[in-house]
Amino acid sequence: MFFRLLPWEYAIRNLFRRPLRTSLTFLGLTTVIVLVLIVVGFIRGLERSLAVSGDAQTALIFSLGMGENLEYSSIPMRSSDLVPASVRGIQERFGQKYVSPELYLGTDVTIDGHDASMGLVRGVTRPALLVRRQVEIEEGDWPKNGQVMIGRMVATKLGATVAEVGVGRSITFEGRAWEISGVFSAGESAFESEIWCRLDEMQQAMKRQDLSIVAVTMAPGGDFTDLDLFCKERLDLELQTMPETAYYASLQKDYGPVRWLAWLVVLLVSGAGVFAGLNTMYGSVVGRIAELSTLQTIGFVRRAIVIGLIQEGVLMSTAASLLAAFIAIVFVNDAAVRFTMGAFALRVDSVAVLIGCSVGLSLGFFGAIPPAIRALRMPVVDGLKAV
């Protein structure tokens, strides 16, 4: 059955009739939505960092039974020579095969004026730049004797400023001081949290002659069958292989509980926002009982009044969502955060904005319904007498 709605501008005027209450409600909604965007940005940043780290043409060779714990892997040094000599289909350029022997570990790293922090160090050779194709040297040069090259997220990982780990500065790990020769980026992948040094110097500093992994890039159209067969046939080496994309996919699975916990935080923050909105709307509606009763007296049905109150809530939550999205994109997006795997940038992308704005609109819509229904249950005569 058709019924007459309240004029649209009536809801807008009501928001400005109580500037203090409207401002406090608006501030509360904006704060809740910003918190939601921060948490969702954390989830999206973590997922993106792991998703872009793997190369579909690259495989990792490491110790049998190590799972995802590459820092505990130990394979013979000769593996890096046996693999290209025994496996067909490895990508090659000007006689250089795309094979990168690497020593990878987590160790205490010290910067002048800071306590030791856990850092990720990778000993590499020049072919690492062929295999890790997303790595680009942004500043400085490849490390020489006594030097290291750091990813652009290392400062965040170590809790330092960018200036403190700039080119020419020094860091200390494994009992040695190392000069920083360059800074590299890696397409927002996990490599950006790592410190790279020469493999031979890292082995000397650690008094080790083994490797953690051998990374191999297969030629276009090639598969990993021969590589897998090599690992299974050479039982003396105790090797296993895994596509790099599968390795980082397994890390995403391992971080599943962290992501679920973050989504739980989103729900809790949203729930707190709903209750805060309900409390504010209750206070707003209770103070307008006489007004709402008058509207019923002049011919507006209760459903029309409820829709009018919902319009007010949605208008306010829409404005709060837009402001929160602006704040998140300008001040939160690309903010670096430390994590167990290293560091990554918060990602306030279209998905995060969609989720944040959806939460904001839901707060305005559902937060207005219960107090409106409760106030309109009062008889009109009693409502007109309310002060």
State residue 383's pLDDT score: 57
Q: Which of 309, 292, 323, 283 minimizes the C-alpha distance to 15?
A: 309
pLDDT < 70 stretches in the chain? 1-3, 8, 11, 113, 273-274, 276-287, 289-290, 340-341, 375-376, 378-387
| Cα 31 from chain centroid (whole Å) | 20
State residue 382's pLDDT score: 60
| Secondary structure string (H, E, C) spanning 212-234 | CEEEEEECCCCCCHHHHHHHHHC
Rounded Cα–Cα distance for residues 6 and 157 (Å): 56
Q: Which residues pair with 123 in a beta bridge?
A: 103, 197
DSSP per-residue string spanning 191-210: GGGEEEEEHHHHHHHHT---
Tally of CA atoms within 13 A in the half-sphere of 176 that contains its CB:
16
| Both tokens assigned to 189 | 């992948």
51-61 pLDDT tens trace: 888 888 999 99
DSSP per-residue string spanning 241-283: EEEHHHHHHHHHHHTHHHHHHHHHHHHHHHHHHHHHHHHHHHH
| Cα 185 from chain centroid (whole Å) | 17
Rounded Cα–Cα distance for residues 341 and 330 (Å): 26
The pTM for the full model equals 0.80
State residue 261's pLDDT score: 84
State residue 122's pLDDT score: 94
Q: Which of 322, 251, 257 minimizes the C-alpha distance to 29?
A: 322
Rounded Cα–Cα distance for residues 378 and 375 (Å): 6
Rounded Cα–Cα distance for residues 319 and 280 (Å): 17
State residue 280's pLDDT score: 63
State residue 286's pLDDT score: 64
Q: Which residues pair with 41 in a beta bridge?
A: none
CA distance readout (Å), 293 to 115, 286, 369: 66, 11, 17
Contact between residue 178 and residue 197 where contact means Cβ atoms under 8 Å apart: yes
Rounded Cα–Cα distance for residues 308 and 352 (Å): 29
State residue 1's pLDDT score: 47
Contact between residue 376 and residue 306 where contact means Cβ atoms under 8 Å apart: yes
* Residue owning tokens 């795309």: 98
State residue 138's pLDDT score: 93
Beta strands (DSSP E) in 45-98 are: 58-63, 92-93, 96-97
